Chains A and B, each alone.
Chain A
Amino acid sequence: MKCSEAKENLSRYLDGELPAAQAGELERHLADCAACRADLERWRTWGKELANMNFSGDHDRKLDVFETSVYARLERGIAWILLSLGGALVLASALFYAIRDVLLNPEIVWPMRIGLILLILALIILAVGVVRHRLSTYKSDKYKGVLR
Chain B
Amino acid sequence: MQHIADETLMERIKTAQDREAFTMLMNRHKTHAYRLALQLTGDHDEAMDCAQEAFVKVFTRARRYEDGRQFWPWFVGILRNTVRMLRRTTWRRRKAGAEELIAGLPDHCDDPEAAARAAELWRRLFALPPKLREVMVLRHQEGFNYEQIAAVLGVSVNTVASRLHAARQRLAQDHEM
**Chain A residues at the B interface, C-beta cutoff of 8 Å:** 8, 10-12, 15-17, 39, 42-43, 46-47, 49-51, 53-59, 62-63, 66-67, 69-71, 73-74, 77, 137, 140-141, 143-147
Contact = CB atoms under 8 A, between A and B. Distances in A.
Given A55-B104, A144-B77, A50 B146 contact: no
Contact of A11 (B30, B35, B81, B168): B168
B30 A147 contact: no
Given A17-B146, A62-B48, A67-B27, A144 B81 contact: yes
A59 B34 contact: yes
B145 A51 contact: no
A49 B146 contact: no
Main secondary structure on A side of the interface with B: helix
Contacts, number: 110
B155 A147 contact: yes
29 contacts: A11-B161, A11-B164, A11-B168, A15-B139, A16-B145, A17-B161, A46-B140, A49-B117, A50-B125, A50-B136, A50-B140, A51-B141, A53-B105, A53-B141, A56-B105, A57-B44, A59-B48, A63-B31, A66-B26, A66-B30, A66-B34, A70-B26, A74-B56, A77-B60, A141-B81, A143-B154, A145-B81, A146-B154, A147-B154
B132 interface: no
Tell me which of B52, B117, B145 has the highest count of chain A C-beta atoms within 10 A of its own C-beta: B52
Given A73-B52, A74-B56, 4 more contacts: A15-B145, A43-B172, A67-B26, A70-B56
Given A51-B141, A147-B154, A70 B48 contact: no
Main secondary structure on B side of the interface with A: helix
A68 to B, nearest CB: 10
B66 to A, nearest CB: 13
A145 B85 contact: no
Given A57-B104, A74-B60, A66 B139 contact: no
Contacts of A144: 77-78, 80-81, 154
Nearest to B98: A55
A146 B60 CA distance: 21
Contacts of A50: 121, 125, 136-137, 140-141
Contacts of B53: 73
B154 A43 contact: no
Contacts of B77: 144-145
8 closest A-B pairs by beta carbon, nearest first, are: A145-B154, A50-B140, A11-B165, A144-B81, A66-B30, A56-B104, A55-B104, A70-B55
Interface string B53-80: 1011001100000000000000001101
